[in-house]
């Protein structure tokens, strides 16, 4: 008997074995009934039967082996994709998802070969069946991973949103205590609370921005007419107050007037300067340079210190990446490794570009921003 006919005839025994195996995938399957355990298994098998009964050219076989099987015409999702989505929502992990297909492959082939005995099974059916199972696994894993990623991003978004209220209350209370003039000990404790709260706020802002970009929303910018020199001067003054032991210079030349999102560019420069403070030589200044011409402005942040390895430099704007510990001696507490990534996303949101260069003498980050011409998109 051909495999497609066997699966159609013995669908129920195959599903019984699927259900029995799925019930062992704990803890997710602990309280699931028969219908939930069998979730879309019959539809997956019917899709495999249809595939086995469809003639296939060598080229079509090759395309399928590369994960490029044609999408179903009459559905937005395949049965394998829907199965993965529901398994993700039920708390299964990706290893358990793959294990279901491994068990299905083994049980179907074993039952069919037993049924064929003493005759040998059709080798072409075995090949086609394995191709169909591999395709279902690929579809399931891709959809499962996307669902997990989306759930993670939504959780981060809700966490960031819900933490803002309590954090703002802490900062407001600390500011109130600092203003009471109740002695040096109270003022000192209040100042520590304010600094810690500000650090938490920066972490939360980074997390929220990272989450927005992962959800495809990009960095939110609200361009207005600003004097960029004044905006950067305010940021540099604040950074000097935070790091009184470091020399942070600002140099301006050319026309600094334009239409950009001032707070976002302060955030960009702040992230670049903090990176320079962490990893640069402690006894040399961090230099912020702003130059403007007719069409663009350029912001450059540079510092002396050890050269960044070319492999690290190539991925330095990737999220959650940092330089090796020997590149700086400053404390890394309060860093998620998102500063440079967010700086690059802010530059992109302004239709600009950011580049990094490093040699044995200097490391430099350069941001080129066009003057607004009405094409900048706000979100």
Q: Which residue has the higher pLDDT, 87 or 158?
A: 87
Going by C-alpha positions, the residue among 133, 136, 200, 128 that lies closest to residue 163 is 200
Going by C-alpha positions, the residue among 214, 276, 189 that lies closest to residue 239 is 276
Looking at the fold, whether 26 and 143 belong to one and the same domain comes out as: yes
Model confidence at 209: pLDDT above 60: yes
Tokens of residue 28, six digits: 């997710």
Looking at the fold, whether 201 and 264 belong to one and the same domain comes out as: no
Looking at the fold, whether 196 and 267 belong to one and the same domain comes out as: no
pLDDT digits (tens, 9 = 90+) for 300-339: 999 998 888 888 888 898 876 655 444 443 444 445 567 8
The pTM of the full predicted model, rounded to 2 decimals, is 0.53
Model confidence at 164: pLDDT above 50: yes
Looking at the fold, whether 230 and 209 belong to one and the same domain comes out as: no
Share of the chain above pLDDT 70, in %: 82
Q: Which residue has the higher pLDDT, 73 or 318?
A: 318
Is there a contact between 300 and 289 (Cβ–Cβ < 8 Å)? yes
CA distance 357 to 2: 64
CA distance 210 to 157: 9
Is 229 within the bounds of a domain?
Answer: yes
What is the number of structural domains in the chain? 2
Backbone dihedral angles phi then psi of residue 173, each to the nearest 5 degrees: -65, -40
pLDDT confidence band for 352 (50 / 70 / 90): very high
- CATH value at residue 349: 3.30.565.10
pLDDT given at position 56:
83
Going by C-alpha positions, the residue among 128, 120, 31, 37 that lies closest to residue 83 is 37
Looking at the fold, whether 210 and 258 belong to one and the same domain comes out as: no
Share of the chain above pLDDT 90, in %: 44
Residue 199: CB atoms within 10 A of its CB come to 14
Instruction: Say how many residues make up the chain.
Output: 379
Tokens 């590149």 locate to: 327
Looking at the fold, whether 132 and 85 belong to one and the same domain comes out as: yes
Looking at the fold, whether 49 and 103 belong to one and the same domain comes out as: yes
Alpha helical stretches, state H, 72-122:
79-89, 94-116
Mean pLDDT of 247-276: 93
Looking at the fold, whether 352 and 279 belong to one and the same domain comes out as: yes
pLDDT given at position 325:
45
Is 91 within the bounds of a domain?
Answer: yes
Looking at the fold, whether 249 and 122 belong to one and the same domain comes out as: no
Quote the domain boundaries for residue 169: 1-217
pLDDT confidence band for 153 (50 / 70 / 90): low
Model confidence at 138: pLDDT above 50: yes
pLDDT given at position 111:
94
pLDDT given at position 105:
94
Looking at the fold, whether 233 and 208 belong to one and the same domain comes out as: no
Mean pLDDT of 171-187: 75
Looking at the fold, whether 130 and 244 belong to one and the same domain comes out as: no
Is there a contact between 174 and 194 (Cβ–Cβ < 8 Å)? yes
Mean pLDDT of 232-246: 88
- CATH value at residue 7: 1.10.490.70
Domain boundary residue, one of 196, 217, 238 = 217
Is 379 within the bounds of a domain?
Answer: no
pLDDT given at position 327:
43
Is there a contact between 136 and 47 (Cβ–Cβ < 8 Å)? yes
What are the residues whose beta carbons fall under 8 Å from the beta carbon of 260, sequence distance 6 or more?
A: 221, 223, 224, 226, 228, 350, 369, 372
pLDDT given at position 199:
67
DSSP for residue 308: P
pLDDT digits (tens, 9 = 90+) for 255-267: 999 999 999 999 8
CA distance 109 to 101: 12
Domain boundary residue, one of 175, 199, 217 = 217
Looking at the fold, whether 133 and 240 belong to one and the same domain comes out as: no
pLDDT confidence band for 37 (50 / 70 / 90): very high
Low-confidence winner among 47-51, 71-75, 97-101, 187-191 (lowest mean pLDDT): 71-75
DSSP line for 196-217:
HHHHHHHHHHHHHHHHHHHTT-
């Amino acid at each position: 008997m051909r495999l497609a006919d066997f699966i159609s005839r013995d669908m129920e025994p195959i599903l019984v074995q699927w259900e029995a195996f799925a019930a062992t995938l704990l803890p997710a399957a602990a309280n699931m009934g028969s219908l939930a355990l069998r979730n879309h298994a019959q539809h997956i098998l019917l899709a495999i039967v249809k595939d086995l009964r469809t003639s296939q050219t060598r080229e079509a076989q090759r395309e399928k082996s590369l994960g490029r099987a044609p999408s179903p015409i009459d559905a937005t999702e395949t049965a394998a994709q829907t199965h993965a989505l529901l398994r993700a929502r039920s708390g299964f992990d990706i290893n358990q998802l793959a294990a279901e297909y491994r068990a299905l492959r083994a049980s179907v082939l074993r039952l069919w070969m037993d049924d064929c005995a003493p005759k040998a099974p059709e080798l072409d059916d075995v090949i086609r069946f394995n191709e169909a199972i591999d395709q279902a696994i690929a579809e399931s894993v891709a959809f499962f991973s996307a669902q997990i990623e989306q759930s993670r991003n939504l959780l981060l978004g809700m966490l960031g949103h819900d933490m803002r209220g309590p954090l703002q209350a802490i900062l407001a209370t600390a500011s109130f205590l600092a203003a009471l003039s109740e002695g040096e000990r109270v003022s000192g404790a209040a100042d520590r609370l304010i600094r810690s709260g500000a650090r938490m706020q920066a972490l939360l802002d980074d997390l929220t921005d990272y989450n927005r970009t992962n959800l495809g929303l990009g960095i939110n910018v609200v361009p207005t007419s600003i004097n960029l020199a004044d905006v950067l001067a305010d940021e540099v003054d604040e950074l000097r107050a935070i790091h009184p032991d470091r020399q942070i210079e600002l140099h301006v030349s050319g026309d600094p007037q334009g239409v950009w999102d001032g707070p976002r560019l302060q955030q960009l420069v702040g992230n670049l300067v903090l990176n320079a403070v962490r990893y640069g030589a402690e006894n040399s200044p961090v230099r912020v340079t702003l130059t403007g011409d007719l069409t663009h402005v350029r912001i450059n942040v540079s510092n002396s210190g050890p050269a960044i390895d070319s492999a690290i430099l190539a991925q330095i704007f990737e999220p959650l990446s940092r330089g090796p510990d020997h590149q700086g001696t400053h404390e890394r507490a309060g860093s998620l490794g998102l500063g440079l990534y967010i700086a690059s996303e802010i530059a992109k949101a302004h239709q600009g570009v950011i580049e990094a260069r490093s040699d044995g003498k200097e490391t430099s980050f350069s941001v080129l921003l066009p003057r607004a011409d009405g094409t900048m998109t706000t979100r």
